[in-house]
Amino acid sequence: MFDTHCHLTGDRYKDGIDSVLDRARQAGLSGMIAVAIDLSDALEAQSLAEQHPDVWFTAGVHPSEAGREHDLSSMGTLAHHPRCVAWGEMGLDGHWPDPPMERQCSLLEQQLDVVVNSTQHKLPVVLHSRKAVDDVLGMLVSAGLPGDRCIFHCFTEGPEAVERVLATGAAVSFTGVVTYRNAADVALASDRVPLERLMVETDSPYLTPEPHRGIRPNEPAQVVHIADFLAARRGMSREEFEAATDATASRIFGLHQTQ
């Protein structure tokens, strides 16, 4: 089982990252992708990945950081590191008024420009898209980035939106949100995603899945509850579901190549 998207850097975990990683391994996880929210965070995630063979990292700037200036010149260097498995996370967040959408769009546009002009032709792009699916899809088209290189992470929209995403060839990953009783639409969306394009993630330290929703911080070990939930919806055993989604994550992020 992989946690394909978590935030492991900084002082998010009071009892230390080693305990978090130990609990993940005890829960049966074979790997975690430490997703960066900006480029200094990516460096920190890189050093974590250098110390732990079951941690990989990504390079990019989250839309919540669009209020600041970012020097994107190191993005390409980070992406060439052997343990960097994706660009991102990058995207648009229409939930909060701040940072303003124009700034988010401009930051996303600049990053997509780096991606399409990089010689790292195979690295996928982890997209953050909240209440902004159609805007993100439009920007991918403008940038000339094919949908089949993209992962719509933490999918929180309904079945119609997921169909528009799937039509581009993109993959979709689900967090603990899919297990929430008030997110029936997200669960319905998950049913539409073929296993070869479906992944699970915790987005730790946020979004703890049921049955532990109230517990914070969330951590990678909890990804098993998301897998159990989705496996049950599909009438699959956890083992079958794990094998299928692990194969998807390995293929999309090239995890086997860097181990």
Contact residues: Zn ion, CB under 5 A: 203
Our CB check for Zn ion shows the closer of 93 and 203 to be 203
Our CB check for Zn ion shows the closer of 5 and 231 to be 5
Residue recorded with tokens 């460096």:
43
Q: How many CB atoms lie within 10 A of CB 251?
A: 14
Q: Least separation, in Å, of the C-beta of 184 and Zn ion?
A: 23
Our CB check for Zn ion shows the closer of 112 and 154 to be 154
Our CB check for Zn ion shows the closer of 37 and 227 to be 37
Q: Least separation, in Å, of the C-beta of 119 and Zn ion?
A: 26
Q: How many CB atoms lie within 10 A of CB 20?
A: 20
Q: Least separation, in Å, of the C-beta of 5 and Zn ion?
A: 6
b/e code 149-171 from CB counts within 10 Å (16+ = b): bbbbbbbbbbeebbeebbebebb
Q: How many CB atoms lie within 10 A of CB 249?
A: 28
Our CB check for Zn ion shows the closer of 208 and 231 to be 208
Q: Least separation, in Å, of the C-beta of 173 and Zn ion?
A: 10
Provide the residue count of the chain.
259
230 DSSP assignment: H
Our CB check for Zn ion shows the closer of 89 and 242 to be 89
Alpha helices in 118-154 (DSSP H): 133-143
DSSP 45-94: HHHHHHH-TTEEEEE---GGGTTS---GGGHHHHHTSTTEEEEEEEEEE-
Give the C-alpha separation, 137 to 156, whole Å.
15
Our CB check for Zn ion shows the closer of 92 and 231 to be 92
Torsion of CA 233, 234, 235, 238, to 10 degrees: -90
Question: In the numeric block, which tokens belong to residue 243?
Answer: 């094998």
- Picking from 4, 25, 8, 65, the residue whose alpha carbon sits closest to that of residue 205 is 8
Q: Least separation, in Å, of the C-beta of 96 and Zn ion?
A: 15
Q: Least separation, in Å, of the C-beta of 176 and Zn ion?
A: 12
- Picking from 2, 86, 12, the residue whose alpha carbon sits closest to that of residue 42 is 86
Q: Which residue is nearest to Zn ion (CB)?
A: 203
Q: Least separation, in Å, of the C-beta of 7 and Zn ion?
A: 6
